C-alpha cells in the first residue's frame, strides 16, 4: 500500500474515478495545465485532456452553475473552488438550485456533482484563505457536506462523494494537505457518507473532531491516555451534514463525557448541533457538561495572530482534563 499525503490521495481518487467513469470531469480555476494551485489535480489534464480537466474562466458562480447543468445532463463534475473563502459566490447556485433541483422536479432532475475546496487555517496565507465555514454549506438540505481528516479518509470519501447521487461539498483541510502521510489502500472503495468514524475506542470520555483539528486532537488524546491512563474514544465526524447522530449518541451513552474540538467559530458551528443531538438522545447519560473547544466569533485574523485563533494543543488538553475530572 502506498504512503500518501492528502494531496496525493485526492489526486489518486480523481485519477481512478475519471478512468473508471467517463462522465466524471474536473473543472475550476487553474486545475488543468497547472494542476491546481495545490497540485491536487496534477496530471489530469495530460491524461484526460482539456475537455475533462477544464481550466474555467474566473467565475465561481458560473463554475458551479454550469456544473449543475452538466450534472442535470449526465455528467459528474467535480468542481474546484480555489479556496473556500471564494466559494461563497457559489451559494446562490447551490442553495437556489443545486440542492433543490431534486425536490423542485420531483426527482426528474438530479445533481450528482462535487464542489471540492481547501479550507481552514495554518498556511500563512493572505486574507480569505484561512476560514472554516462549513456551517454555510451544512445549513442546506439536499446537499451533503463532507470533511476528510486524513489521506486515507480523503481517498475513500471523495470516491463516495463523486458517486453520490446528490451534490456534495467536499472541504479539504489544507493544513493537512502535506502535513503527514498515511498508507492508502487504493482499492477504489467508497466509504459511506453520513457516517462518523471511530478512530479509537474508549470508555471514559468521547472526543469528537474533524478536519485539521482531528490530527491535533489525536496527539493530545494519545498523550493523555498514557499520562493519565484514561480510556478515551476519539470520533472523526467526517460528514457535517447529514450528521451521524447515532454514532455520537452511542458513544456518549457509553462514556458519559464529551469534548468537541472545532476549528470554526463558536456560534452556530457543528459543535452546537452535536450538543443538541446529545441533548436529544443521551442527556440522561451525561456525567459532566459537554465542552467545546472552538474558534472565536471574529473575522479570521491574518497569520501574525492566526495560530492562537484556532484551538491550541493547550486548550484541547485542558478541556479534556477538566471534563475527565468533573464530578
Partner 1 sequence: MPSKVYARFSVSYMQVLDEDGKVDSKLEPSVSDDELLKLYRVMLTSRRLDERMLKLQRQGRLGTLPVCVGQEAVSAAAALAMAEDDWFVGAYRELAGRVMRGEALVKPMMVYNGMEEGNMTEGMKNVTPVAIILASQIPHAVGIAYAIKIRGEKNAVVSFNGDGSTSEGDWHEALNFAATWQTPNVFVVQNNHWAISTPLSKQMHNRSIAQRGIAYDMESIQVDGNDPLAVYKATKEALDRAKKGEGPTLIEALTYRMLMHTTADDPKKYRKEDEVEEWVKRDPITRFRTYLGNKKLWNAKKDEALEAEIKGEIDAAVKEFESISKVRMDEPFDYIFGEKEEIIEEQRQEFLDDLRKDKEDA
**Buried-exposed string 287-307: b where 16+ CB fall within 10 A, e elsewhere:** ebebbbbbbeeeebeebeebe
3-state SS, residue 326: coil
Burial class (CB in 10 A: 0-12, 13-18, 19+), 194: middle
Tally Cβ neighbours within 10 Å of residue 227: 10
Q: Does 304 bind partner 1 (CB under 8 A)?
A: yes
Q: Does 41 bind ligand TPP (CB under 6 A)?
A: no
Select the residue interacting with partner 1 from 34, 187, 223, 279 (CB under 8 A). 34
Q: Which positions are annotated as active-site residues? A: 129
Q: Does 58 bind ligand TPP (CB under 6 A)?
A: yes
Backbone angles phi, psi at 169, to 5 degrees: -95, 120
Select the residue interacting with partner 1 from 3, 20, 104, 305 (CB under 8 A). 305
Instruction: Sort strands 168-173 and 114-119 into parallel, antiparallel or unpaired.
Output: parallel
Q: Does 16 bind ligand TPP (CB under 6 A)?
A: no
CB of 86 to ligand TPP, least distance (A): 4
Part in contact with ligand TPP (CB under 6 A); list of ranges 81-89, 103-111, 264-272, 314-322: 81-89
Q: Give, as one character, the DSSP assignment of residue 282.
A: T
Alpha carbon 273 to its chain's center: 16
Residue 279 interacts with, from ligand TPP, partner 1, none (CB under 5-8 Å by kind) = none
Residues 291-310 that bind ligand TPP (CB under 6 A): none
Q: Does 238 bind ligand TPP (CB under 6 A)?
A: no
Part in contact with partner 1 (CB under 8 A); list of ranges 50-58, 111-119, 195-203, 228-236: 50-58
Q: Give, as one character, the DSSP assignment of residue 98.
A: I
Q: Does 183 bind partner 1 (CB under 8 A)?
A: no
Residue whose C-alpha is closest to residue 246's, from 214, 268, 277, 270 = 277
At 79, list the grid cell. 468542481
What gap in Å lies between CA 296 and CA 264, rounded to an integer?
A: 8
Q: Between residues 61 and 301, which has the closer beta carbon with respect to ligand TPP?
A: 61
Site string for partner 1, 124-153 (x = CB under 8 A): xxxxx-------------------------
Task: Give the sheet arrangement for strand 197-200, strand by strand.
Answer: 197-200, 232-236, 205-209, 258-261, 291-293
Q: Does 109 bind ligand TPP (CB under 6 A)?
A: no
Q: Between residues 83 and 191, which has the closer beta carbon with respect to partner 1?
A: 83
Q: What is the CA radius of gyration of the chain?
A: 19
Residues that bind ligand TPP (CB under 6 A): 29, 58, 60, 82, 86, 89
Residues that bind partner 1 (CB under 8 A): 29-30, 33-35, 37, 55-62, 85-86, 89, 124-128, 266-267, 296-299, 301-306, 308-309, 312, 314-315, 317-318
Amino acid at each position: 500500500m502506498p504512503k500518501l499525503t492528502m494531496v496525493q490521495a485526492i489526486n489518486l481518487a480523481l485519477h481512478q474515478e475519471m478512468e473508471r467513469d467517463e462522465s466524471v470531469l474536473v473543472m475550476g480555476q487553474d486545475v488543468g495545465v497547472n494542476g491546481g494551485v495545490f497540485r491536487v489535480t496534477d496530471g489530469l489534464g495530460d491524461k484526460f485532456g482539456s475537455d475533462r480537466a477544464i481550466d474555467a474562466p474566473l467565475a465561481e458562480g458560473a463554475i458551479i452553475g454550469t456544473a449543475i447543468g452538466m450534472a442535470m445532463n449526465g455528467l459528474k463534475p467535480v468542481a474546484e473552488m480555489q479556496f473556500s473563502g471564494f466559494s461563497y459566490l457559489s451559494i446562490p447556485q447551490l442553495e437556489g438550485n443545486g440542492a433543490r433541483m431534486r425536490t423542485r422536479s420531483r426527482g426528474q432532475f438530479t445533481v450528482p456533482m462535487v464542489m471540492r475546496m481547501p479550507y481552514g487555517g495554518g498556511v500563512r496565507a493572505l486574507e480569505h484563505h484561512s476560514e472554516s465555514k462549513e456551517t454555510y454549506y451544512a445549513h442546506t438540505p439536499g446537499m451533503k457536506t463532507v470533511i476528510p481528516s486524513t489521506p486515507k479518509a480523503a481517498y475513500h470519501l471523495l470516491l463516495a462523494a463523486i458517486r453520490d447521487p446528490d451534490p456534495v461539498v467536499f472541504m479539504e483541510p489544507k493544513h493537512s494537505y502535506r502535513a503527514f502521510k498515511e498508507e492508502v489502500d487504493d482499492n477504489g472503495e467508497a466509504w459511506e457518507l453520513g457516517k462518523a468514524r471511530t478512530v479509537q475506542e474508549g470508555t471514559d470520555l468521547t472526543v469528537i473532531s474533524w478536519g485539521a483539528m482531528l490530527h491535533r486532537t489525536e496527539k493530545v488524546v494519545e498523550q493523555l491516555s498514557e499520562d493519565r491512563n484514561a480510556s478515551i474514544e476519539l470520533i472523526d465526524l467526517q460528514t457535517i451534514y447529514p450528521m451521524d447522530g447515532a454514532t455520537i449518541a452511542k458513544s456518549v451513552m457509553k462514556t458519559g463525557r464529551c469534548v468537541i474540538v472545532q476549528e470554526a467559530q463558536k456560534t452556530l458551528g457543528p459543535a452546537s448541533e452535536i450538543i443538541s443531538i446529545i441533548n436529544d438522545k443521551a442527556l440522561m447519560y451525561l456525567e459532566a457538561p459537554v465542552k467545546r473547544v472552538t474558534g472565536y466569533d471574529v473575522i479570521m485574523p491574518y497569520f501574525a495572530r492566526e495560530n492562537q485563533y484556532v484551538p491550541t494543543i493547550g486548550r484541547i488538553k485542558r478541556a479534556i482534563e477538566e471534563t475527565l475530572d468533573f464530578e
